[in-house]
Chain A
Amino acid sequence: MNQQNSAGSRKPKPVAEDQALVERVRNGDALAWRSLYERFSQPVFRFVSALGVPPEEREDAAQDVFVAVYRGLKGFRGEAQLSTWIYRIAARHASHLGRRRRMRSFLSLLPWHETEIEPQPDPVERASELRLLDRLLDKLSPKKRMVIVLFEIEGLGVNEIANVMGCPPNTVWSRLRHARAELVKAARRIPT
């Protein structure tokens, strides 16, 4: 998972290195498993946070992602970057949690249902600008949010995002353009 900041394919990945790491984990190498976790746990936590998974659900979400990664390693053929593949799993899981949250929020509109209280901010993340950014991202549709998070925060290239989301690169560009415009528009509405 990278931090480069140009479009297209943003940072070439050492595929062979990834494949070797995966192979070691498949062969039961505990150090390799640890190394895979250490390399990807922070991006996974950051990614699910940016996709709106509330602090109290992040540990479970990350755990589920790594369990899925472990179980899927046998089928990992190295056709995509390891990071792209893990992002895809994390994206799927975050979307699932998002749907569940939206269902809960819909149910809370029913007249006999108690109003749901806003999720508590992560005590570790006190910076108000991050909280505000999360609120702005909440206003985007899930697909647009995913694109802008993968591009602007996780630093993936458009082709990789297309791979993660299973859509053509042009669709990614289009969603990115709309997401940026909506984000700026929402930011302008914040009272100063």
Chain B
Amino acid sequence: MKWLEQHGADDTEKWLGEALKAARQRTGDEVARRRVWARIEGLLSGNNLPLLRARSLVLPALTGALVALGVVAALWMVPAMRPARAPVAAKRVAPAVASAPQPGLVATRVVSQISSSAPVRTGRGEKARVALVGGTGVELDANSVLSWDAERRPSVERGQARFEVPHQAPGARFAVSAGPYVISVVGTKFHVGVGDDRVSVEVEEGVVEVWRGARSVRLVEGDSWAGPIRGLAPPGIEHRTFLPGTTSRRAALADSPARIENGPASAELTEARSALSEGRTEEALAMLTHCAKGMGPAAENAAYEMGRVLRDGLHRPQAAVTAWLAYRTRFPNGLLRAEADLSILETLARVGDKAAALAEAESFLARYPNSERREEVAKLAARVRGAP
């Protein structure tokens, strides 16, 4: 970055130099790259039809939009024909595209979070499908309210909602608020209900964590849980490992590791990621190792990320597998468990440990029969089998 270093760079120029250096080391999201590979892998064998979007629709859509724009502009320029403001204002309050109610059917609106900042409310006999930024789909039941804050974090204010969350990048979680609770997931399907005095969660697929302050409960597929909105636990049990809700797996939860939010651990994890992006790989690994010894989500993320640093940053695949196995032992139901399983499988395949990779693949397919990664794993297993 000679242009920023010559003639005695000032603080701004030094900062810019550092930022451009960080941008060169931007590693991106491994899971996203893997997902794209799963979609384009079939190109070679010609079975690529599902991934190709209908490009031919783009031009007509654009042309249609421009024609519509021209018509609207013409209307706008003729004062006598200008539409009244009232309908516009009404649309701002409820920007959803409403489908025409059909006799005998429940009216379902379709709302995109990108084009709407107002809460989505459904009335009696009405449902809504909401597309959140990041790919999450929400089915909002009748008499329900879904809102989001300035950072677009959704919140179920009232009623029932079913969430379908696509798999998140490693270290990232999708969170939805429900009353005083925060429901945190990596990628799953679940229902949230908010009544006058209770919040309920039912897990259809994957793993969900429900948090309130420093306490949490972890739910897996088939679990349901409900907790009070007011009058939580009495003082003195602030560090209990589960919320005073009801769940069918309370005994098992009591045995799980304490999950207490750990501020310093989160800061250390952030620091480790910064070190990684700056190329200080060994330092990042040391920080992650330290962080992984702690408690809470930061420790879990660090335990998983150690494997990625060992494999991708330090090119030590065997050590990476050991790290992910350690993650698996410590967090058998962890939010990143599937990711760790897949990383182990892929790394074993990469180093040519055919038998172990196939065993992992079989175990993955048996453990996650409905996983969105199933096809990817099956292809990987087929490739390993076919390898000399």
Contact = CB atoms under 8 A, between A and B. Distances in A.
A127 B172 contact: no
B270 A130 contact: no
Nearest to B35: A59
A17 interface: no
Contacts of A63: 36, 39-40, 51
A130 B23 contact: yes
Given A45-B32, A63-B51, A133-B19, A123 B168 contact: yes
A13 B51 CA distance: 32
Contact of A66 (B36, B171, B172): B36
Nearest to A125: B26
Given A33-B43, A49-B28, A67-B40, A127 B22 contact: yes
Contact of A129 (B19, B29, B91, B135): B19
A87 to B, nearest CB: 15
A67 B44 CA distance: 10
A33 to B, nearest CB: 5
A123 B171 contact: yes
B114 interface: yes
A120 B175 CA distance: 14
B113 interface: yes
Nearest to B277: A127
A67 B134 contact: no
Contacts of B69: 107
Contacts of A125: 26
A45 B16 contact: no
A37 B37 contact: yes
Contacts of B13: 184, 187
A152 B15 contact: no
B22 A130 contact: yes
**Contact-residue bracket for chain A:** 35 or more
Contacts of B347: none
A111 B88 contact: yes
Interface string B21-61: 01110111100110111011101110010011000000000
A70 B41 CA distance: 11
A16 interface: no
B383 interface: yes
B18 A41 contact: no
B44 A30 contact: yes
Contacts of A114: 92, 95, 115-117
B32 A184 contact: no
Contacts of B35: 59
A184 B273 contact: no
Given A50-B23, A120-B152, A153-B24, A62 B88 contact: no
Contact of B29 (A124, A136, A190): A124
A176 to B, nearest CB: 9
A166 interface: no
A132 B28 contact: no
Given A33-B44, A70-B43, A123-B168, A155 B18 contact: no
Interface in A131-170: 132-133, 136, 152-155
B29 to A, nearest CB: 5
Nearest to B312: A42
Given A58-B32, A66-B36, A187-B13, 4 more contacts: A46-B24, A114-B95, A124-B29, A183-B16
25 contacts: A46-B26, A58-B32, A59-B35, A59-B36, A62-B33, A63-B39, A63-B40, A66-B40, A67-B43, A112-B88, A114-B92, A115-B117, A119-B133, A120-B134, A124-B29, A124-B169, A126-B270, A127-B274, A129-B15, A130-B19, A130-B23, A133-B20, A153-B23, A180-B3, A184-B13
Sorted nearest first, the 4 A-B pairs with minimum C-beta distance are A123-B172, A45-B28, A133-B19, A129-B19
